[in-house]
Amino acid sequence: MTVEKAGTQDIDDLVQMRLSYLEEDNGSLDDNDTVLIRRNLPDYFREHIDRDLFAYVIKEHETIVSCAFLLITVKPMSPSFINGRTGTVLNVYTCPNYRRRGFAKMIMEALLSDAKKQELSVVELKSTEDGYPLYKALGFTDDHSKYHLMKWKNS
């Protein structure tokens, strides 16, 4: 199996992969949230795929079985991201029946190769305990900062 970039023809599968990832990460989703995601996420993908969002996938029989997203953001320059081009890895997910075959590693290697070609200063991600050894092996380091990671949520 090989890694390829998903396109607009893969949107339905990408929505399903996102929902599967979210359910596994958060537990069962609220029915209203699921409806909103199913309704609105396809438009997001149509607007962003191959512009500032790149979806790396492995397929079996034309069905996506493993994926990861790279979201590229351009920020004002700083010593931490000298050219301002940064990447955020999202939604690294492999369907349960396809795990332990090295798919996440293959996808991440392709993603990071493209990150170099696109001259991203830094690529960031949040890791689960399960994914941590893989990301360390790929060269990611723990980000120790004098800043606190904080969020504001519109409720």
Establish how many alpha carbons lie within 13 A of residue 94's alpha carbon, considering only the half-sphere containing its beta carbon. Answer: 18
Record the tokens describing residue 127, joined without a space: 């890791």
Q: What is the CATH number of the domain that holds 26?
A: 3.40.630.30
Q: Is residue 149 part of a domain?
A: no
Per-residue pLDDT reduced to its tens digit, 5-46:
999 999 999 999 999 999 999 888 999 999 999 999 999 999
Tell me the percentage of the chain whose pLDDT exceeds 90. 89
Q: Is residue 56 part of a domain?
A: yes
How far apart CA 91 and CA 69 sit, in angstroms, is 6
Q: Give the residue-averaged pLDDT of 81-103.
A: 96
Task: Write the CA distances from 108 to 10, 89, 150, integer angstroms.
Answer: 19, 9, 27
pLDDT at residue 3 tops 90? yes
Q: Give the residue-averaged pLDDT of 60-81.
A: 95
- Number of domains the chain is built from: 1
Tell me the percentage of the chain whose pLDDT exceeds 70. 100
155 pLDDT band (50/70/90 cuts)? Answer: confident
Q: Is residue 75 part of a domain?
A: yes
Q: Give the residue-averaged pLDDT of 61-82.
A: 95
Q: Is the pTM of this model over 0.75?
A: yes
1 pLDDT band (50/70/90 cuts)? Answer: confident
How far apart CA 54 and CA 119 sit, in angstroms, is 15
Furthest C-alpha separation in the chain? 47
Q: Is residue 24 part of a domain?
A: yes
Average pLDDT value for the chain? 95
Domain range for 87: 3-137
* Residue length of the chain: 155
